[in-house]
Amino acid sequence: MTVLLGALFAFANGAQLAHANRFGPPWQSRVTVDQTTLYSEPDRSSAAVGPLGKGQLVVVVADQVTGTDGSAWTQIPDGYVASSDIAEDTNPWIAEVAVPSVSIYARPNTNEPIRRTAKQGDLLRVTGASPGIEGDTNTWWSTTEGYVAVHTLREAGSDWAKGWSLPTADQAPNGWWGGIRSQANVRAAASTKAPVVGTLVPGDRIKVLEEVQGDAVGGNPLWYRIDGGRYAGAVVHSSLVAKMAGPKSVTADRPADAPPGGLIVVSRSAATLTYLDQAGEPQFSTYVSLGRAGVETPDGNYQTMGKYRFDNMSSNTVSNADHAYFLPNVPFVQYYLEGGYAIHATYWHDQFGQVESQGCINLTWSDAAYLFGLTQPVVAPDLLARWAIGDAPATPVVIVE
């Protein structure tokens, strides 16, 4: 996958703190003070549009401006807010549809195919704000189902929504892989009354993290809490999942110039990733998704040259309709080759153990989080990113056939 790497610069001790310094708006932010006011203009003497409360989600739609009093202001869809009162938030969140129905598009452009229509109250996981592409001037929410207009969603507060939480890194080593037997409704909880958050079909592969008891279907009360791309942390009834053989560990010779520590080995033929410790012993193996024909994942020896907890990814040639895309806040990104090649989580497909990416190495949410914690350079909890420069080491990446 190609990414706009417009800021391979301005790193202090290998760290970069905010997307806003590298990519222009839109991006999502939250109010950080108890209460602030939204104004019609970047001026406190202008008409007040209304109050904003702490934690409220807003979309930044334009670059920061200086008001008449000399202070910084940020524009959101309905007006201006003091820049000091909001902060960027890269975390995904659960939304509910706030209008009678909304079209979900394959890409952020109203001329794109509509993937499906969601009705009022449906739940969607939002990954961030996106600009329109190929001439579209709208601002969009990017969701794991596709792109929707920003005014159509609101944060969900139901118990169902709270239960649909993302898996954690420590769950990754204990999961097992399954294939989808037939079209499967994915739900927010192990209940036939829980909202359907999406659909999996034969060919999709998911990682089962936990077996849970819930409503019986055909006399069977067993459900699976899953990891994957689009529906990480949701549940599927066990009758719809066939257990498949787990990934085999793949080893490789350590490059002579490799720094000390672990080693990542990716097998293109098996579509797997294995993490080896310093002694060359496999510690973790999983299925991945690799580059499709024409945009294959290149083999060779590399290193994790930079790591981002979240990073925006986009095509370099936005005018090319066949390849234009914008993906905000891609999780647990580890760049290993110039041109935007990276190991990262995916939230837009579930084709693991297969070819689906535009050259990157795609993992599930928990697998990507787990691997992110194993490799160098270490990204401190309060930092967004770190590059392997100065005293920050790297982890070797060996991609074999």
3-state secondary structure of 195: coil
User: Which architecture characterizes domain 263-400 according to CATH?
Assistant: Beta Barrel (2.40)
Per-residue model confidence (pLDDT) at position 323: 63
Same fold, 15-88 and 93-162: yes
How many CA atoms does the CB half-sphere of 277 hold within 13 Å? 5
Per-residue model confidence (pLDDT) at position 391: 72
CA distance readout (Å), 25 to 133, 175, 318, 376, 395 = 13, 38, 16, 30, 32
The neighbour count for residue 267, using CB atoms within 10 Å, is 23
Q: What is the largest CA-CA distance in the chain?
A: 68
Q: Alpha-carbon distance 40 to 150, whole Å?
A: 19
Per-residue model confidence (pLDDT) at position 317: 36
Mean pLDDT of 98-109: 97
Q: In the CATH hierarchy, which top-level class contains the domain 15-88?
A: mainly beta
**pLDDT digit string (tens) for 241-252?**
999 999 999 999
* Alpha-carbon torsion (138, 107, 115, 182), positive or negative: negative
CA distance readout (Å), 249 to 75, 283, 315, 373 = 50, 9, 32, 19
Helices (DSSP H) in 167-282: which residue ranges?
none
Q: Average pLDDT, whole number, for the chain?
A: 92
Judging by beta carbons within 10 Å of its beta carbon (0-12, 13-18, 19+), is residue 91 exposed, middle or buried?
A: middle
Q: Alpha-carbon distance 384 to 370, whole Å?
A: 16
| Cross-strand bridge partners of residue 289 | 362
Domain boundaries along the sequence of the chain: 15-88, 93-162, 164-243, 263-400
User: Which residues are CB-neighbours of 154 under 8 A, at least 6 positions away?
Assistant: 95, 96, 98
Mean pLDDT of 370-379: 96
Per-residue model confidence (pLDDT) at position 259: 87
**pLDDT digit string (tens) for 175-231?**
999 999 999 999 999 999 999 999 999 999 999 999 999 999 999 999 999 999 999
Question: What CATH number should be reported for the domain whose range is 93-162?
Answer: 2.30.30.40
In the predicted model, is pLDDT for residue 122 greater than 70? yes
Question: What CATH number should be reported for the domain whose range is 164-243?
Answer: 2.30.30.40
Q: Counting every residue, how long is the chain?
A: 401
Find out whether 275 and 252 touch, Cβ atoms under 8 Å: no
Helices (DSSP H) in 173-233: which residue ranges?
none
% pLDDT > 70, the chain: 92
**pLDDT digit string (tens) for 3-13?**
433 333 334 34
Q: Alpha-carbon distance 362 to 353, whole Å?
A: 10
Give the residue from 289, 287, 198, 288 showing the smallest Cα distance to 235: 198
Q: Is residue 358 very low, low, confident or very high in pLDDT (cuts 50, 70, 90)?
A: confident
